[in-house]
């Protein structure tokens, strides 16, 4: 199986994450989208994606369907699971793990924050 990761390597994390969201929706509901000619980008919980995210999502769908030699609506459960797991793995890797130095700076910053005294509290 080829990976979609190179297609996302130069893409902003927010755009990649959005495209992977719509890709996941499409893979999960491909038969519904095809049967009812539903727009995969129409989503009541999210705003309509940018044109760039739309094109990126379509290119990811095209890549996967070309790789499999069939439309996603024809995938069996194993094929769907393979690609769904792959998308999840890529999405989880979008944000790099913080380095020890970054964690230390964050801890130092959080520990340095002093909360304002509110009415009825003592300032110890």
Residue 68's pLDDT is 95
**DSSP class of residue 98?**
P
pLDDT in tens, the chain (124 residues): 799 999 998 999 999 999 999 999 999 988 887 777 778 888 766 678 899 999 999 999 999 999 999 999 999 999 999 999 999 999 988 877 777 888 888 888 888 886 666 776 665 5
Position 119 in a domain: no
Position 67 in a domain: yes
Position 124 in a domain: no
Crossing angle for the helix pair 51-68 and 13-36, to the nearest 10 degrees: 60
Residue 45's pLDDT is 67
Q: Strand, coil or helix: what is 120?
A: coil
66: containing domain: 5-112
- If one counts every other C-beta atom within 10 angstroms of the C-beta of residue 52, the result is 13
Looking at the structure of the chain, the number of domains it has is 1
Radius of gyration of the chain (CA): 21
CB-based contact 48:41 (threshold 8 Å): yes
Residue 104's pLDDT is 87
CA torsion, ordered 96, 16, 38, 1, to nearest 10 deg: -80
């Amino acid at each position: 199986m080829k990976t979609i990761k190179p297609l996302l390597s130069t893409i902003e994390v927010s755009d990649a994450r959005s495209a992977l969201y719509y890709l996941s929706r499409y893979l999960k509901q491909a038969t519904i989208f095809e049967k009812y000619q539903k727009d995969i980008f129409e989503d009541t919980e999210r705003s309509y994606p940018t044109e760039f995210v739309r094109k990126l999502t379509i290119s990811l769908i095209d890549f996967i369907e070309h790789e499999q030699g069939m439309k996603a609506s024809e995938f069996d459960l194993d094929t769907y699971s393979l690609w769904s797991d792959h998308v999840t793995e890529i999405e989880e890797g979008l944000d790099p793990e913080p380095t020890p130095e970054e964690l230390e700076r964050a801890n130092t910053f959080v520990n340095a924050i002093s909360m304002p005294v509110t009415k009825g509290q003592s300032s110890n």
